[in-house]
A and B are shown apart, each in its own frame.
Chain A
Amino acid sequence: MRSAPYVWKRVGFALLTVYVSLTFNFLLFRVLPGSPVSRISRVPNASSELKDALIAQFGLDKSLGEQYLLYLQQTLHGNLGISYANRQPVIDNLVVAFSNTIPMVMTGTVLALVIGIVLGVASAVRRGGYIDHLGTNIAVLFYAFPTQFLGMMILIFFAGTLPSAGMSDPFAIGGSGWENLVDRIRHMILPVLTLVLTLFAENVLIVRSAMLETLGEDYILTARAKGVSRRRLIRAHALPNALLPIVTLVAMSLGTIVTGAILIEVIFSWPGIGRTLYMAVLKRDYPMLQGGFLAITIVVIAFNLVADLIYFKLDPRITS
Chain B
Amino acid sequence: MTAPANPERVLAINDLNVWFNTGRGAAQTTSHVVRGVTLNLAPGDRLGLVGESGSGKTTTILAAMGLLPSSAEVAGQILLNDRDILRGGEQTVAPHRWKDISMVFQGAMSALNPVRTIGWQIAEAMQIHGIAKGEDARHRVAGLLDLVGIRQTGASQYPHQMSGGMRQRAMIAMALACEPRVLLADEPTTALDVIVQRQILQLLVDLSERLNLALILVTHDLGVVAQTCQHGAVMLDGEVVEQGPVSDLYRQPRHPYTRRLFEAAPDIRAAATRPRAAADTDPRQLKADRLLSVNGLTVSYLRSRTFKDYFRGRHQDALIAVNDFSLTVARGEMVALVGGSGSGKTTALQAILGMVRPVRGSILLNGRDVSTLGHRQWRPLRRQVQMIYQDPYEALDLRFRVRSTLEEPLWAHGIRTSAKEREALVAEALDRVELSPADQYLNRFPHELSGGQRQRVAIAASLVLRPHLLLADEPVSMLDVSVRNGVLQLLDRLRSGSEMGILMVTHDLSTAAAYADRIVVMNKGRIVEQGGIAEVVTRPRDAYTKALLASIPDPDPEAGKGDPAG
Contact = CB atoms under 8 A, between A and B. Distances in A.
A317 B158 contact: yes
B115 A240 contact: yes
Contacts of A218: 105-107, 110-111
Interface string A288-319: 00000000000000000000000000111100
- Give the dominant DSSP class at A's interface: helix
Interface string B84-113: 000000000010011100110111001111
A315 B113 CA distance: 11
Given A224-B67, A226-B128, A227-B128, A317 B114 contact: yes
Contacts of A226: 97-98, 124-125, 128, 174
Contacts of B151: none
Contact of A320 (B65, B111, B306): B306
Given A222-B111, A225-B98, A241-B115, A316 B65 contact: no
Contact of B307 (A9, A222, A236): A9
A111 interface: no
Contact of B113 (A5, A237, A314): A237
A212 interface: no
Given A221-B67, A222-B105, A227 B125 contact: yes
A193 interface: no
A228 interface: yes
A314 B158 CA distance: 12
A5 B304 CA distance: 14
B160 interface: yes
A5 B129 CA distance: 40
A225 B112 contact: no
A236 B125 CA distance: 13
Contact of B65 (A223, A225, A241): A225
A224 B110 CA distance: 14
Contacts of B307: 8-9, 12
A219 interface: yes
Given A12-B307, A219-B110, A316-B160, A225 B102 contact: yes
A316 B102 CA distance: 27
- Chain B interface residue number, banded: 20 to 34
Interface in B103-160: 103, 105-107, 110-117, 124-125, 128-129, 158, 160
B113 A227 contact: no
A304 B197 CA distance: 44
A217 interface: yes
Contacts of A5: 306
Contacts of B113: 219, 222-223, 237, 241
Contacts of B110: 217-219
A189 to B, nearest CB: 38
Contacts of A240: 115-116
Interface residues of A, number: 25
Given A9-B307, A219-B112, A226-B124, A316 B158 contact: yes
B67 A316 contact: no
A317 B111 contact: no
A129 to B, nearest CB: 12
Given A9-B307, A219-B110, A227-B98, A314 B103 contact: no
Contacts of B102: 225
Interface string B290-312: 00000000000000101100000
A217 B98 CA distance: 19
A241 B110 CA distance: 12
Contacts of B116: 236-237, 240
Contacts of B304: 320
A246 to B, nearest CB: 14
A226 B102 CA distance: 8
B59 to A, nearest CB: 13
Contacts of A227: 94, 97-99, 125, 128-129
Contacts of B103: 225
B185 to A, nearest CB: 13
A113 to B, nearest CB: 20
Given A9-B307, A219-B113, A219-B114, A228 B105 contact: no
Contacts of A225: 65, 67, 97-98, 102-103
A258 B116 CA distance: 35
A225 B111 CA distance: 11
The 5 closest A-B pairs by CB, nearest first: A218-B110, A316-B158, A219-B113, A218-B111, A226-B125
Interface of B: 65, 67, 94, 97-99, 102-103, 105-107, 110-117, 124-125, 128-129, 158, 160, 174, 304, 306-307
10 contacts: A5-B306, A8-B307, A218-B105, A222-B174, A226-B124, A227-B98, A228-B124, A236-B124, A240-B115, A315-B114
Given A225-B97, A237-B113, A240-B116, 11 more contacts: A218-B110, A218-B111, A219-B114, A221-B105, A224-B67, A227-B97, A236-B124, A241-B115, A315-B114, A315-B115, A316-B117
